[in-house]
Amino acid sequence: MAEHNELGALGEEIALKYLREKGFTIRETNWRFGKDEIDIIAEKDKFLVIVEVKTRRSSVFGEPEIFVNAAKQRFLVRSTQAYIDRYNISLEARFDVISIVLNSTTKRINHIQDAFYPVL
């Protein structure tokens, strides 16, 4: 596995542990819709929480969350709608980003709730 893939997988494990500690129920991880993927689908407080995890070794080029661009947001919205339709979900969806900076001296987690809203 390439180093960036290993870092991403480690970031997702850290995010899962963090969410469980915060009382989230994990429904799915790495759920695929065609070529799109949702990192984590969770549930909390009557919300279906769609979580995109971004992990970087440093923030020298910007915080990891800035890399959840408009195209990625469209993919997440499209995949979420497919998930809701497939499983007949009646919960309101929320889009969160968990940004992780992880290296030999730093482990910083930033959970951004309602990181973006679907464009109608």
The helix/strand/coil state of 87 is: helix
Question: Can you give the residue ranges of every domain in the chain?
Answer: 3-116
3 has pLDDT over 70: no
Residue burial 31-54, b: 16+ Cβ < 10 Å; e: rest: bebeebebbbbbebeebbbbbbbb
Most confident residue range from 3-7, 46-50, 67-71: 46-50
Average pLDDT over the chain, rounded to an integer: 91
pLDDT at position 118, please? Answer: 87
Average pLDDT over residues 42-56: 96
Instruction: Name the CA radius of gyration of the chain, rounded.
Output: 14
* pTM listed for this prediction: 0.91
Q: pLDDT tens across 57-111, in order?
A: 887 777 788 889 999 999 999 999 999 999 999 999 999 999 999 888 878 999 9
45 has pLDDT over 70: yes
DSSP H helical ranges for the chain: 3-21, 70-87
Domain 3-116 has CATH 3.40.1350.10: yes
pLDDT at position 79, please? Answer: 97
